[in-house]
Each structure stands twice: as C-alpha cells, then as structure tokens.
Amino acid sequence: MNKSEGKKASEISKIIAKEWNSMTPEAKKKYEDLRDEDKERHEVQMEEMRLKGYFIMDDGSKSSDHVKKVKKFKK
C-alpha cells in the first residue's frame, strides 16, 4: 500500500507538501527546471493559438486536428 491509497485529496496534498519541503534545493532543481520548460512551451503555444487559432504539437501535427477525448465513467 502506498502513502496516498485511501486518503482524501487534502491529506495527499499535505503529504506532498511535507515531502517537497524536506527536499534539498539540489533535489528540487530537476522539478523546477521541468516547470520552467513547460511554462515556456505553454507560452509559445498560447501565442501561436492567439495568432493562428492552433498550435503545433510535439509530434508536428496541428492542435486543431485532434479530437478531445471524452472520459467514460464506470457505473
């Protein structure tokens, strides 16, 4: 059983915050770098979207060519 199994979202958030706050700055750097890269990608895509109405995905296709996946909930 992992730490989050069977817990509420608020409890899981506390676990994550505790682990994050206990990490060294060197350990956090990997995740902060990923955040910065993703923020830059998002800004570029949003500017493309504003200018063209679509952006180019990582696979080279247009975002407008993709159909939104609808989640199906189990009953």
Of 47, 37, 71, which is closest to residue 63 (Cα–Cα)? 47
Q: Quick one: pLDDT at residue 72?
A: 81
Looking at the structure of the chain, the number of domains it has is 1
The model's pTM:
0.66
Q: Is residue 14 part of a domain?
A: yes
Mean pLDDT of the chain: 90
Q: Is residue 54 part of a domain?
A: yes
Calculate mean pLDDT across residues 11-30. Answer: 96
CA distances from 3 to 7, 16, 17, 34, 55 (A): 8, 10, 13, 24, 39
Q: Which domain holds residue 37?
A: 9-58
**Other beta carbons less than 10 A from residue 28's beta carbon:** 13
* % the chain with pLDDT above 70: 97
Q: Is residue 73 part of a domain?
A: no
Q: Which residue has the higher pLDDT, 49 or 73?
A: 49
Q: Is residue 38 part of a domain?
A: yes
Q: Is residue 3 part of a domain?
A: no
Q: Find the farthest-apart pair of alpha carbons in the chain and give their distance in angstroms, rounded.
A: 48
